[in-house]
Amino acid sequence: MLDIEKMMGDDPEGRLAALPEWTEEVARKLAEKEGIALTEEHWEVIRLLRNHYRLRGNDLSGTRLLNALEEPFGARGGKKHLYELFPGGPINQGSRLAGVPPPPYSRDTSFGSVA
């Protein structure tokens, strides 16, 4: 199993030199700054992102990770619902709030806002 606190190489876009210390309080404060009141559904996505990174690292593309997130949310509206939860993008904004780096090359604007 990968150690989420120790994993992190150089990010080509300079977003993270190392994984920051993360707590649920850190996520709440980040979300508040971004205008999001975290609900249980937000926490579900955050936990899925953290668990994925803990188990597999950054091995998926942004598209594949979004598709994997969509699976448990299919009955609740799928991708559309995920973008309603995270208007800045369930991959980019969700990863930021989860304290993990987004998958490589997911900085693409198609992973951003639907607005």
pLDDT single digits (tens) 6-21? 444 444 443 444 567 8
Q: Is 56 within a domain? A: no
Q: Is 93 within a domain? A: yes
Instruction: Give dist(CA 37, CA 56) in Å, integer.
Output: 28
Q: Is 26 within a domain? A: no
Q: What is the pLDDT of residue 81?
A: 95
Structure tokens at 108: 């693409």
Q: Is 88 within a domain? A: yes
pLDDT (tens digit, 9 = 90+) per residue, 73-115?
989 999 999 999 999 999 999 999 999 988 887 765 554 544 4
For 33, other C-beta atoms within 10 Å of its C-beta total: 8
Q: Is 108 within a domain? A: no
Q: Is 13 within a domain? A: no
Q: Is 67 within a domain? A: yes
What is the domain extent for residue 85?
Answer: 61-102
pTM over 0.85: no
Instruction: Give dist(CA 115, CA 99) in Å, integer.
Output: 24
What is the domain count for the chain? 1
Q: Among 36-45, 55-64, 77-86, which is the least confidently predicted range?
A: 55-64
Report, as an integer, the average pLDDT of 18-38: 90
Q: Is 1 within a domain? A: no
